[in-house]
């Protein structure tokens, strides 16, 4: 929808194939994602997993955020939360559910804050290119850096209960905060 | 994707709103459909329901059929089965599952055949307008009528086990075979 010809340095689907194929691939992959969750061996997990993914992907999450992003008056915080962070949140909730963790909400919060940190850094890296929707372009790189650091700290705080077992999840926060491209 | 400005006499979404909004509405509604199934009170039904819908809607069903329809050499029978009838089949499977029927496969076959009858009739009604993908335009209205009747009879045969309780489902077959627009 941003009509970029490249995605992570490779030709975007709608350029390499065509628009119809790109749309259909998205539709097919969405159905395949729900299908994969429905094949979870522990059947009691299927409904909560589907609900987590539907919330992160649908009108309350990524799709809703993209729609708000198309509107002239879309709020940058709401866009970041829905379009980016809701799917991070769903991802970590799904991992927590699959692992049988009793702390699904806390691990979901970790994902949400990680997603907000990711988007803040993304805006800093893209500050020169984009406009209206870019927090760093709107409020300056220094404020965006402060924001990224706060979200990263909140992500780590959400998984404090893991103690030493949270090392890898904290490492992901540091990786996201320090990425340069 | 056919770029028609009207859908059942009303402006199509991509015309009334815009293309991005139409695509996002489809994405959001797909997630909402899976979410609705995940809220089925009997949790043991959730996985089989999700699998039925994913098969009818995704790469093996509607989306796959639409993709084949975009290809120059797409087979008309395969397109009808995947693009139209697979979702009819999923619909009747879901009804059977929700009702706790022990005859899910038979009711699915009823839906599949009903969908093929529907598409055969659709081709007859559209025979003057369309070309390559239209069975009636390719093989003549008489052959298409025979095809519709055979599929309708097969739909009714699949639910013979229902006896008098199958009256409404047989009525749907007759309705589809006799529609004029």
> B-chain residues within 8 Å CB-CB of A21?
67, 70
Q: How far apart are CA B27 and CA B25, in angstroms?
A: 5
Q: Which of residues 70-89 of B touch A (CB under 8 A)?
A: 70
Residues B69 and B29 in one domain: no
Q: Give the model confidence (pLDDT) of B92-130 as tens digits.
A: 999 999 999 999 999 999 999 999 999 999 989 987 766
Query: By residue range, what is the domain housing residue A85?
Result: 45-178
Residues paired with residue A7 on neighbouring β-strands, in sequence order = A10
Determine whether the interchain pair A54/B38 forms a contact, defined as Cβ–Cβ distance below 8 Å.
yes
Cβ contacts of B100 within 8 Å, gap of 6 or more = none
Residues A53 and A22 in one domain: no
Determine whether the interchain pair B54/A38 forms a contact, defined as Cβ–Cβ distance below 8 Å.
yes
Question: pTM for this one?
Answer: 0.92
Mutation pick from A38, A42, A51, A62 vs chain B, by most beta carbons of B within 10 Å, is: A38
Q: How many domains does chain A have?
A: 2
Q: Is A42 on the interface with B (CB under 8 A)?
A: no
Q: Give the model confidence (pLDDT) of B126-181 as tens digits.
A: 877 665 678 888 888 899 999 999 999 999 999 999 999 999 999 999 999 999 88
Strands A10-11 and B6-7: unpaired
Q: Which of residues 4-23 of A touch B (CB under 8 A)?
A: 20-21, 23
Residues A55 and A108 in one domain: yes
Residues A32 and A63 in one domain: no
Residues B3 and B74 in one domain: no
Of B46, B63, B70, the CB nearest to A50: B46
Residues B77 and B158 in one domain: yes
Residues A21 and A77 in one domain: no
Q: How far apart are CA B52 and CA B57, in angstroms?
A: 9
Residues B126 and B141 in one domain: yes
Q: Give the model confidence (pLDDT) of A43-94 as tens digits.
A: 999 999 999 999 999 999 999 999 999 988 888 899 999 999 999 999 999 9
Q: Are B106 and B158 in contact (CB under 8 A)?
A: yes
Q: Residue B58: which CATH number?
A: 1.10.600.10
């Amino acid at each position: 929808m941003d009509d970029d010809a490249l995605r992570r340095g490779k030709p975007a689907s709608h350029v390499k194939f065509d628009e119809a194929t790109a749309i259909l691939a998205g539709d097919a992959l969405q159905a395949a994602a729900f299908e994969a969750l429905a094949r979870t061996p522990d059947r009691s997990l299927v409904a909560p997993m589907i609900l987590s993914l539907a919330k992160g992907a649908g009108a309350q999450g990524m799709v809703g955020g993209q729609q708000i992003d198309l509107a002239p008056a879309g709020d940058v915080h709401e866009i970041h939360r829905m379009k980016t962070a809701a799917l991070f949140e769903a991802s970590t909730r799904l991992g927590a559910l699959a692992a049988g963790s009793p702390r699904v909400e806390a691990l979901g919060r970790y994902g949400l804050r990680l997603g907000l940190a990711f988007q803040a850094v993304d805006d800093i890296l893209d500050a020169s290119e984009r406009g209206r929707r870019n927090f760093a372009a709107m409020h300056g790189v220094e404020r965006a850096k402060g924001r990224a650091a706060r979200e990263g700290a909140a992500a780590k705080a959400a998984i404090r209960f893991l103690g030493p077992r949270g090392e890898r999840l904290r490492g992901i926060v540091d990786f996201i905060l320090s990425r340069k491209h």
